[in-house]
Amino acid sequence: MKTFSATPADIDKKWILIDAEGVVLGRLASIVAMRLRGKHKATFTPHMDMGDNVIVINADKIQLTGNKRDKPNYWHTGYPGGIKSRTTGAILEGAHPERVVTQAVKRMLPGNSLARKQMTNLRVYAGTDHPHEAQDPTVLDVKSMNKKNTRS
């Protein structure tokens, strides 16, 4: 029996809508990264873009555990002495809170050209409105996926 390797004709992309309100950032990012890569499918092929198109809404209402809200995020402008920083809480309360979710998902993907292609299938919005109603996205309940199994 030969190992199955998907071709572009075998790829079936779906649209998935995820509500990020009250969900922990790392748990959400790992679920979104898995969906973008297509690892949830039985026909997963590592060198093909098998993943779905993911829409994340309410990115400004994401939960952070511990002191991560006060953690500084650094970037460099390219000029001498151009290192800048801003806390994660300031980014969430600022003009672009969706960048926190986008960076978390990006850092959970491999650092190659296929991951950059897969990141184009992610759409993150701060509020509840999004322009992708025509694609009829399937709602994925992430809150129920993250509950721990408790024994009674």
Query: Domain holding 50: CATH number?
Result: 3.90.1180.10
∠ CA 91-15-114, nearest 5°, is 70
- pLDDT, averaged across the chain: 94
Domain limits for position 38: 15-64+95-130
Has residue 116 been placed in a domain?
yes
Three-class SS state of 18: strand
Has residue 85 been placed in a domain?
no
Report which DSSP code applies to 70: G
Has residue 69 been placed in a domain?
no
Number of domains in the chain: 1
Has residue 119 been placed in a domain?
yes
- pLDDT of the residue at 149: 52
Has residue 102 been placed in a domain?
yes
Q: Where are any strands of DSSP class E within 88-134?
A: 122-124
pLDDT tens by residue, 47-104: 999 999 999 999 999 999 999 999 999 999 999 999 999 999 999 999 999 999 999 9
- pLDDT of the residue at 92: 95
Has residue 103 been placed in a domain?
yes
